Structure 1
């Protein structure tokens, strides 16, 4: 299965924040969208970084409440792993597990085209296994 197939099911909408948005504004986006990470982007299509709930918690611990007024760019991960829609789900699952990454932006033609979480990837793998199981059970009952 390809990542593009996951995006067809879940959609291609990606929540973004500008690098100069405050961490408090970031928390609003995370909460309102019930998500765990946001792509940092100047224009909604390029990727300057990614920032997650964990980033906020770590920086709150290190810097205290002052971080809430700081720009998102001060806590984001600037080196972002991305994948194309043609990427294989199994390969991405392995990379996400190996590198302990929970969210991967999808890039097509140099533009942000979606985002997948480890939950999306695991769910697609489970769906495939259940389909294969049903086929085997059907075959055995013939």
Structure 2
């Protein structure tokens, strides 16, 4: 059984709710990532900020990214997976919620992230083809 821990990118960086969006964008650029988990004061996951969120929810709406915090864009309960979950559960979670990045949690703390690239590096071509078909065909409808 392959677990989330085995395919995740370990040591994922996170930001706090008070980080301004311009700084979050700089961090994404420096780390070459498209998303950063948002943690609360207890280092628990409370949201995920994507580069698209910054553009669509801040810049396109005329807000100033130097004065808008990550927490202002953290809505709802973020999806996540336990570090010991089977890869089939990882794929199901991502498929059913149409997400392309999934935080990995252990003992209520962020320990890594799983992205499409992580899946591509660790799964068979058949598994990836099936996952891509489910993610992208449903996203188009």
TM-score greater than 0.5 by the shorter chain: yes
Q: 2:25 aligns with which of 24, 27, 32?
A: 27
Match of 1:91 in 2: 89
Match of 1:107 in 2: 105
Deviation at 1:51, TM superposition (A): 0.7
Match of 2:138 in 1: none
Larger radius of gyration: 1
5+ residue gaps, structure 2, are 128-141
Number of corresponding residues = 126
**Normalising by structure 1, what TM-score?**
0.76
5+ residue gaps, structure 1, are 130-142
Match of 2:139 in 1: none
CA distance in 1, matches of 2:126, 2:107: 28
Match of 1:3 in 2: 4
- Show structure 1 runs of 4+ deviating over 3 A: 42-45
Partner secondary structure for residue 15 of structure 1:
coil
Match of 1:73 in 2: 71
Match of 2:15 in 1: 17
**Pairwise CA RMSD of aligned residues?**
2.3
**Normalising by structure 2, what TM-score?**
0.77
